[in-house]
Amino acid sequence: MEFNPLPAVTTFAAPIFILSVALEWWAVKSGRARGKYDTKDAFASLAMGLGNVVINTLTGAIAIWMMLVAWPFRVFTLPFTLWSAVIGFVLYDFIYYWKHRFAHRARWWWMEHVTHHSSTNYNLTTALRQPWFGPFTGLIWIGLPMVIIGFHPYVIFFVGGLNLLYQFWIHTEAIDRMPRWFEAVFNTPSHHRVHHATNARYLDTNFAGVFITWDKMFGTFVPELEDEKPIYGIVKPLGTHNPVVIAFHEFYALMKDCASDGLRPHRWIGRLISEPGWCPEGKHNRSTELKYAYLQENPEKRGTPGFPE
């Protein structure tokens, strides 16, 4: 079966992205919408988005090649029909949930993903704050099950583009809550604000791309609470708007930590595969420890959303 490359939907949507950012920026600055825009922060996010487009364009052939290598080993060959596209979209989102969850659970992948979480503001420019690693961290290989099943790589990239397109609009404080039925099934601005928060109860939650049902199924869902507004950013704030630092600060930190271990590869591997905040000496500062420390100071919060009993 021959496939022609399907359109890169995010490329076609670029003018809508820019127009939406301009409208939200105006609405926030004029007091017509809730949110915050810091000019330097917003332009840093836009620069990250532009750099991501350039790098992905240059490395796109490598990403496609990585998938095509696995294509001959497929079990089936699925035609590109409406129903296969719908199934592919849902399956992609399921895999995206785990891919996203792994990106928060292994420092090698967090090294890439941390870029997206580094802004202390939460607006549509945050959606454009994307990493500059292309396919080189290997995170793309998590999509291999779809290739093995029989979804052509071009189809995967197409539904992946639709998935990313959906996620653009949920990066906003301008929208409070969607209708209850929508909040129950889909990822929304409210759900995703929780994901971007550094509050102890909100850490490592709401990994969904489109369907929040995955988080509810696998125990990682936490609702946004009215009495605890999200505080955005990362646990160790960057304090800079330099795009190069934003893109590579965690790579530098990881290499520095490995260098401090000396010639002990087992420690290097431990740092790569363990959660952010893991320490070979056992003095961890992972989300687990941060939640525990919070509960030590606020024991009455035990058993509430985001905290164990």
In angstroms, the CA 85 to CA 90 distance is 9
Per-position pLDDT tens, the chain of length 309: 444 555 567 777 888 999 999 999 999 999 999 999 999 999 999 999 999 989 988 887 788 888 888 899 999 999 888 898 899 999 999 999 999 999 999 999 999 999 999 999 999 999 999 999 988 888 777 778 899 999 988 888 889 989 999 999 999 999 999 999 999 999 999 999 999 999 999 999 999 999 999 999 999 999 999 999 999 999 999 999 999 999 999 999 999 999 999 999 999 999 999 999 999 999 999 999 999 999 999 999 999 999 998
In angstroms, the CA 105 to CA 88 distance is 25
**Which pLDDT score is estimated for 139?**
76
**Which pLDDT score is estimated for 8?**
66
In angstroms, the CA 182 to CA 264 distance is 50
In angstroms, the CA 223 to CA 215 distance is 11
**Which pLDDT score is estimated for 121?**
97
**Which pLDDT score is estimated for 147?**
92
